[in-house]
Structure 1
């Protein structure tokens, strides 16, 4: 069995290597037809060392960054051929492909980059930290109570943009000798000001349920995914009711580490296709698109795993259920919203229709959501978070000028 697993792993690595090489050539050909960016144009950079599999982490920032560009021109520094190809295809922000350190140094020598933003904790971010005389700022790609959100890796960054009071308290409690007031800025969730898209179905009397599970995780402490434990059962129950519409939005990394997760995901997708074939009015959705927006606001109830999706939904103030991980090793912060949430166990997935109706009718649960939303995000009125994000960038830019003036004196 181990030999078979090793062979599968080797095949995946070889296939990925060929895909990376082909992508590198396509990116180079595409960039060869584009004029070089003039020197001194950009002030803010997003460092993205990832491949296309993690594009969801930067895509959710496109809207806020595009608006920020009106004040501070923004560029994305991409290190991976597959990531660069996806960024160029999206064409949402100016992108520089810098696979070698020399490419990166040449670009930095031409541009006056004051602030470098990071959307994840990729270990390859360390390669950028070597360049001083600029702010290195962790902006993350979501808010949650995962252990990841209080990682000691925060100390590697000069500053961090965090969502609100809950994040501040989480860091203050977890990190030793970390001046959370000086090294963080609370900005809420500016992505929520830029939600886009329209539902691909007409509004009718069906109850719309968003099921958005996370992936299986790469360690026992983060085994939050519910696709195997809950997913097939709850989707089947909702499809069979005839009164519900399912929006199934699995995490892009589902099945990356575990073939059984990929197989369960494939079965759910097949179930949805079969249900739509049997009833053309059902219009269930398998959503694997790049953007998250309408899914959060169009659904009557959301079922999500322990992930940032909880908090994306929390900001809407609409009902949600959180799948309880089946693994005892999965670490759950019970001091925050998860201490007061509506859990859905694997056993209760058999009765998900009743659970969905219950949380819709529970006014007390909705009131609790509103209180937690304020704690996690502060003012969620339209535009408020974007304004805080841009103000935080402005403060760091002003501080950069002060430091630069001292260094030039």
Structure 2
């Protein structure tokens, strides 16, 4: 039991420091409104709490309105503020039936917030792009605008008793508008809930009408959309109906921005059973998520791992890949990699399909030895989830980029999207972009970085804009091999000899030893990369080893043909 002597510090910890302080401040303003003789003094006291709330919620007030998550914030303090406004109006002769209606409207608004917040918990995403009635997965508007307008109106309401009578009528109009918006938000929530229940009830019929031949199954951390984005265009080219099945709401939102194919959100393992329609023959996977096994347990389907890149990283030889029926790999190197790492894999589960994503990578036109000021792509990877996957050179990135600038190079900077998740890596990205922009102002060189290189341009665009690349142990190295252009890899934990032994792809690259702070062989590496290029022939042979012995013309067709064959779809057939 909590007694009356609970310390303020403990109460603040339980309720939240700012809500507690603002509630105390609001209670004090109520006392002033009840006792102060001067209208101005009382008015100032009453308006301070909503202004403090507005300051605390300035992002909600002055930025884009948020969703229902902002509802009910500082609700107790706002109720007390309404009481203070009513007391102020009453003590100074402003109280009337008009004020009673105004206060009632704002109380209704606060209760509507409670309803919106409660109902919104049941307005889950569920599906989109399916035939039939529209799937209501998005709100008609940002429900947070109710909170935004209500808080702004509360400030005006606190001032109204000190202003001309017209201010009270303005508060009445605002109150009516906010209640109307709140009621519309409630109706929208109810409509979305009904639409979800109706869709769920008829899901088997919807799937049977769609007749999906396969699913693209995806579960990953937020911000991982690139994992499926690289495969969607090629799955579309299989020419058969399919759907994307995701396991998190964040993945659903990302996928819905990437494709117009049907997307189905299945939160629980048992939800997957409803997706097993007679037309379904197989499932494609793009990562090693633990939730993959929720679907691979259905043995009558063909389960195919695509992964999301070709590299020597540790996850590429994860034994968990044995859970799939087939592993589509780019070339022979991916098969040999398992044996080299001591991971026993049945040979019959592999299919060499190339890396269809590199079909638009342009081949080298002229040897780099003839270029005076080449353009170099610096594409560092991220830090990885585990110690054995920490290959990033980004913390040495400023030294690498500065040396490129000193040599007169133009730089394309394209870090892995996950680099921004960690403070130190994010700071390194910012520092490099500042260097490039400062150099561009001085020299006029057109470096590519930031939004242009990371959003407007694809990774293939970055490949094609460069004459050479510096990267880490990363799938971009394997993809860049298709261009036959010179490349370098950075070793952050091994000597050059150890690095080439552990990561065979490095045999095609010039290796920078970044195990110390000095980057001792940086000049030597850049000389080989940008001037001499002694590994040109080696790269050509290793490109075949890693990316398959597949004719460059219609390179992506190999994946399409093999995928259709494994799904049992005739080469000439098409289901639209």
**Counterpart of 1:248?**
413
Shift of 1:385: 4.0
Match of 2:476 in 1: 309
Query: Equivalents in 2 of 1:24, 1:314: separation in Å?
Result: 49
Deviation string 1:247-303 (CA, Å, 9 cap, x unpaired) is 1111111153x4322222222223233333445543432322283211112211100
Give the aligned partner of residue 261 of structure 1: 425
SS at match of 2:419: coil
Change (3 A) 1:177 1:300: closer
Point out the more displaced range, 333-342 or 371-380: 333-342
Gap runs ≥5 in structure 1: 1-17, 197-203, 401-409
Question: Which residue of 341, 359, 373 corresponds with 2:529?
Answer: 359
**Structure 1 residue 354, shift from structure 2 partner:** 6.5
* Post-superposition offset of 1:351: 7.4
| Alignment match, 1:189 | 355
Cα pair distance change 1:399/1:298, threshold 3 Å: closer
Out of 549, 552, 563, the position equivalent to 1:382 is: 552
Superposed displacement of residue 137, structure 1: 1.0
Change (3 A) 1:94 1:316: farther
Q: Which residue of 1 aligns with 2:134?
A: 33
Aligned 1:291-330 pairs, distance under 5 A? 291-326=458-493
Mapped pair 1:271 → 2:435: yes
Q: In 2, distance between residues paired with 1:116 and 1:48? A: 10
CA change 1:368–1:42 in 2 (3 A) is same
Are 1:63 and 1:191, in contact at CA under 8 Å, matched by a contact in 2? no
What's the counterpart of residue 406 of structure 1? none
- Residue 135 of structure 1 corresponds to 302
Distance 1:277 1:335, change over 3 A: closer
- Which residue does 2:564 correspond to in 1? 394
1:99 to 267, 288, 293: 267
Evaluate the alpha carbon distance shift between residue 362 and residue 223 of structure 1 in structure 2; reply closer, same or farther with a 3 A threshold.
same
Residue deviations 1:107-138, cap 9 Å, x none?
323x6221111111111212222222101111
User: Shift of residue 214 of structure 1?
Assistant: 0.5
Please give the root-mean-square deviation of Cα atoms over the aligned residues, in Å: 3.4
TM-score (norm 1): 0.79
2:58 match: none
Q: Does residue 1:210 correspond to 2:357, yes or no?
A: no
Q: Is the 8 A contact 1:63 1:194 kept in 2?
A: no
Indicate if the aligned counterparts of 1:221 and 1:331 stay in contact, CA closer than 8 A. Answer: no
Distance 1:382 1:23, change over 3 A: farther
Most deviating of 261-270 and 332-341: 332-341
Question: Distance in 1 between the 2:522 and 2:374 partners?
Answer: 13
The change in CA–CA distance for 1:133 and 1:40 in structure 2 (over 3 A counts) is farther
Task: Tell me the matched-pair count.
Answer: 367
Match of 2:235 in 1: 65
Q: 1:129/1:206 Cα in 2 relative to 1: closer, same or farther (>3 Å)?
A: same
Secondary structure in 1 matching 2:488: strand
Distance 2:232 2:569 in 1: 25
Q: Aligned pair in 2 of structure 1 residues 277, 37: CA closer, same or farther (>3 Å)?
A: farther
| Structure 2, unaligned runs of 5 or more | 1-68, 71-116, 136-198, 200-205, 363-370, 571-576
Q: Indicate the residue corresponding to 1:119 in structure 2.
A: 286
> Which structure features the higher share of helix residues?
2
Distance change >3 Å, CA 121–CA 66, structure 1 → 2: same
Secondary structure of 1:238's counterpart equals helix
**Distance in 2 (alpha carbons) for counterparts of 1:132 and 1:252:** 35
Task: Give me the TM-score of the superposition, normalised by structure 2.
Answer: 0.57
Structure 2: how far apart are the matches of 1:353 and 1:247? 19
Q: 1:358-400 CA distances to partner (integer Å, 9 max, x unpaired)?
A: 3233353111100100111223533554222123223322399
1:213, 1:249 within 8 Å by CA — same for their partners in 2?
yes
**1:24 and 1:82 in contact (8 A); partners too:** no
Which structure has the larger Rg over C-alpha atoms? Answer: 2
Change (3 A) 1:173 1:303: closer
How far residue 147 of structure 1 moved from its aligned partner, in angstroms, is 2.2
Alpha-carbon distance in structure 2 between the residues aligned to 1:24 and 1:373: 51
